[in-house]
Amino acid sequence: MASERPWHVPGRWYTSPHNWHENVRGGMVGLPRQVCVKDDTLREGEETPGVVFDLKDRVEIGVRLQDIGVAELEMPMASSLEESAEVTKEFKRAGIKCRKSYIYFRTPPYEASTWKDDIKRRIDLGLDHLTLSLSFSREDTWSDFGGEFSKEKVEAIIGETVQYAKNQGATVGFGWPNQTRTYLDTLKRFHKAAADAGVDRTQIYDSLGVGLPASIRHLVSQVKQAVGKTPVLIHVHNDFGMATANTLAGIEGGAEWCDLVVNGLGDRGGNASFEEVVSALEILYGVNTGIKLDRLYELSKFVAKKSGVKCQPHKAIVGQNSFMEESAGHHRSMHAAIVGGTPEAYVPYVPETVGRHYTKIFGTTTMYGGAIEIQLDDWGFQYSVQDIERVRRRALKEIRSSKKGYLSEPEFKKICAGALKRKAASKS
């Protein structure tokens, strides 16, 4: 039975009732109850400048992605079929049983005789799903296929390619780059051609991250109407910092699948962030993803280590500062919420939800407003007004000379003990 207050799960999160207002939910025309996550870290993630995953890295990342609950893994691009075969073999040896997919780019000239063999060899590797991606020229897209390469010719190629791949025994997806630059009627026409040919999933790509959330929502809803019951996947890049918002908008429009990358890795500005999208779906939307949220931080740290790309400190969910508090007002609020038995009253969700914990630090903004007194009370110190001022002076001196600009809890406690010239009294 659904909760009457889905925005509030005691002890875990307290978001906003406005997210659940009928007028708001009414605008989410196609929001599904469940979304399947296709992880693209091994392909798009390795397109991040300077990132190279060796075979061991790929397998270890794949194991962790399976363990956290992804529905499908997109396999890395390989320099040869032999390399792809080796990766597939090692995944099987490591016990990775979740769906594995491969993207195949069919490029001009489309009349070339090699594409059927290319598709068959990839499916013969033992993958579960093949995504067919057609490449169009700039002139074709910008002219709305008004030249020699007509819409009718594209539809014929879509039907031919999808049907051949289906006959080889794999499930098949279909898409093409830069769909947000393709005129809407043409976009719908091509996706419908794939659905009519029996494609198992149609995929919408905002390859340059140029869509607005409202336009992505509308685009996906229109494609959903065109393809009927065929599932839709949304794949978004982050060139304007809106990949998370646009992925969520696509899901509001009816996409049942989404492409995500751990830590938002990827070429240029990166891709939709795995941890941000799944957390928002579960906590803000009430949509099931099958992802174990309490393993997000562990996964993020592992991928950061293997990729060599650190997350920005203030990154949502997994950044170093996400649950680190300094200001006196925040200390007071956090203390009151925890002591009152409602830790979710202070934060949108408690850090344990995503495998984190609170980190209390002491900086220049902690030194006034009662935070020192609260902390000394917690530690059991006896103090006077003069003692507080002594602690403040010593702490500020240390903070201003520190390279990191703040004190950890043990460091601040040491200063307090020295300033008060006595150890904490035991609480009865």
What pLDDT, on a 0 to 100 scale, did the predictor assign at position 110? Answer: 67
Q: Is residue 5 part of a domain?
A: no
Looking at residue 403, its amino acid is K
How many angstroms separate the CA atoms of 292 and 68, rounded? 5
What is the domain-level CATH number for residue 204?
Answer: 3.20.20.70
Per-residue pLDDT reduced to its tens digit, 175-200: 999 899 999 999 999 999 999 999 99
In terms of domains, do 203 and 242 share one?
A: yes
- Length in residues, the chain: 428
Of the candidates 260, 281, 307, which is a domain's last residue? 307
Clarify whether residues 276 and 360 are in a common domain: no
Give residue-wise pLDDT tens across range 237-294: 999 999 999 999 999 999 999 999 999 999 999 999 999 999 999 999 999 999 999 9
Are residues 403 and 340 part of one domain? yes
pLDDT band of residue 423 (cuts 50, 70, 90) is very low
Which one of 244, 273, 307 terminates a domain? 307
Does residue 119 surpass a pLDDT of 50? yes
Q: Based on the domain organization, do 359 and 280 belong to the same domain?
A: no
pTM over 0.95: no
In the structure, what pLDDT confidence band is assigned to residue 2 with cuts at 50, 70 and 90? Answer: low
In percent, the amount of the chain with pLDDT more than 90 equals 68
**CA angle at 61 for the pair 297 and 178, rounded to the nearest 5°:** 90
209-227 confidence digits (pLDDT tens):
999 999 999 999 999 999 9
How does DSSP assign 325-381, residue by residue? Answer: E-SHHHHHHHHHHHHTT-GGGTSSB-GGGGT---EE-B-GGGSSSSHHHHHHHHHT-
> In this model, does residue 403 exceed pLDDT 90?
no
406 and 261 inside one domain: no
Average pLDDT on 151-167 reads 91
| 353 in a structural domain | yes
Q: Are residues 255 and 350 in the same domain?
A: no
pLDDT of residue 428: 36
- 332 with 207, same domain: the answer is no
Are 109 and 84 part of one and the same domain? yes
- Same domain as 67, residue 109: yes
Q: Does residue 222 share a domain with residue 128?
A: yes
Instruction: Characterize the bridge pairing of strands 72-74 and 324-325.
Output: unpaired
- Domain-located, residue 193: yes
Query: CA 16 to CA 8: how far, in whole Å?
Result: 8
Query: Could you tell me the CA-to-CA distances from 205 to 31, 182, 252 in Å, in that order?
Result: 19, 11, 16
Q: Is the pLDDT of residue 96 over 60?
A: yes
Is 331 a domain residue?
yes
What three-state secondary structure class fits 70? coil
The answer to the question of residue 297 being in a domain is yes
In a domain? residue 259: yes
Q: What distance in Å separates the CA atoms of residue 123 and residue 132, rounded to the nearest whole number?
A: 12
What is the percentage of the chain residues whose pLDDT exceeds 70?
Answer: 96
Any domain includes 251? yes
Give the C-alpha separation, 178 to 207, whole Å: 5
**pLDDT at position 85, please?**
86
Is 378 inside a domain boundary? Answer: yes
Same domain, 383 and 260: no
Write out the residue range of the structural domain in which residue 404 sits.
324-420
pLDDT of residue 83: 85
Q: How many domains does the chain have?
A: 2
Residue 111 and residue 213 in one domain: yes
